[in-house]
Amino acid sequence: MLGKLIKLYRISIGLRQSELADQIGVSQNYMSLVESGKREIGHKKLALIINNYPEFGQLLLNNRLSLSDEEIALLILSGEFVRK
């Protein structure tokens, strides 16, 4: 579900899959696997998306979509989630 949400958000802001992949330092193939649900995104890569697109992070936190309490805590406590 998280991969699908990333894809829907990316499309909604007019960002190509390759552009998002470049921004977080992964291949387009990796991003495709994440968006199709065939691979889970790591918390550091998810944090990069949230840092680049705070409104996406807000969507996750406000609606608690696809993230468990443990995953949210891990992002915050790891220091990878930095509010701009």
Q: Does domain 2-77 have CATH number 3.90.420.10?
A: no
pLDDT at 38: 95
Over residues 1-5, mean pLDDT: 81
Over residues 13-36, mean pLDDT: 96
Residue 83 predicted with pLDDT over 50:
no
pLDDT range class, residue 26, cuts 50, 70, 90: very high
If you write DSSP's letter for every residue of the chain in order, what string do you get? -HHHHHHHHHHHTT--HHHHHHHHT--HHHHHHHHTTSSPPPHHHHHHHHHH-HHHHHHHHHHT-S--HHHHHHHHHTT-----
Q: What is the pTM of this model?
A: 0.73
Over residues 33-47, mean pLDDT: 93
